[in-house]
Amino acid sequence: MSVGTTGTAGRSSDPIIRVYHASKSYLPGTFALHDLTLEVHRGEFVFLTGPSGAGKTTLLKLLFSAERPTEGQIILRGRNIARLSAAAVPALRRRIGVVFQDYKLLQSRTVEENVAVALEVLGVPPREIRARVFSMLKQVGLQHRRTHHPLSLSGGEQQRVSIARALVNEPEILLADEPTGNLDPELTIEIMDLLANASLRGTTVMVATHDLGLIDRYGKRRLALEGGRLKDDIPAHRFT
């Protein structure tokens, strides 16, 4: 089921994410994910939904190689990462931006230093780091806060810093776990627009949320998990 393309040797039609009969068992006899198979194409924006305990976070962790599947394959850009060596994990993660619900910002660093970290680990020259961090902070509307520390910011501002950090190195894949869980409706829309814009620029975006209003508003593809299984895969603009 490949999608037609107009160039780049056909590779762009390969799914960037392919989960193949993947299961994850944290405790013997129980499954957080059970025989999950799905594909996501480059530049797609996908909501991951389902009630608490459905396996959303576990799936994101498998994609980020924070956990390994008990069975099956996790194929990113054609490469199975299910058995990746520990030494290869950092290189994989540099291509993936992650946004956590609790931000995970470094409290002892300023806003701009938190965002710069993502580029420092790549060895980007300091002058380029400064320019890219400034431009990214401008995009999330926080350039005036760049020398502040995270704890002096509101929840929504901290979440925008974490999104800036996740996007500043233009990752191929962005994974966001309940990124708007703590935000009011206005900020929720701001944050979601940022993520939707990233997908328009070619980043593949997967957002876990149980906010059905959010999903309705954006009309994107929706993968619904329940009890660790894929219950539904609803294409963009076609759900009720």
Ligand X SMILES: Nc1ncnc2c1ncn2[C@@H]1O[C@H](COP(=O)(O)OP(=O)(O)O)[C@@H](O)[C@H]1O
What is the binding site for Mg ion (CB under 5 A)?
56-57
C-beta of residue 204 within 8 angstroms of C-beta of residue 195: no
55 binds, among ligand X, Mg ion, none (CB under 5 to 8 A by kind): ligand X
- Taking the complex as a whole, the smallest distance from the CB of residue 153 to ligand X amounts, in Å, to 26
Q: Which entry of ligand X, Mg ion, none binds 126, CB below 5 to 8 A by partner kind?
A: none
State the minimum distance, in angstroms, from the CB of residue 182 to ligand X: 15
Of all helices (H) and strands (E), which one includes residue 75? strand 71-76
Core vs surface per residue 199-225: b (16+ CB within 10 A) or e: beeebbbbbbbbbeebbeebebbbbbb
Binding site for ligand X (CB under 6 A): 26-27, 32, 50, 52-58
Report what 240 binds from ligand X, Mg ion, none; CB cut-off 5-8 Å by kind. Answer: none
Give the shortest CB-98-to-ligand X separation in angstroms.
14
Retrieve residue 42's tokens.
Answer: 């480059």
165's contact among ligand X, Mg ion, none, with CB below 5 to 8 A by partner kind, is: none
Residue nearest to Mg ion (CB): 57
Nearest to 158 by CA among 207, 101, 118, 200: 101
Q: Which is nearer to ligand X, 13 or 25 (CB)?
A: 25
The continuous run of DSSP H or E covering 58 comes out as helix 56-63
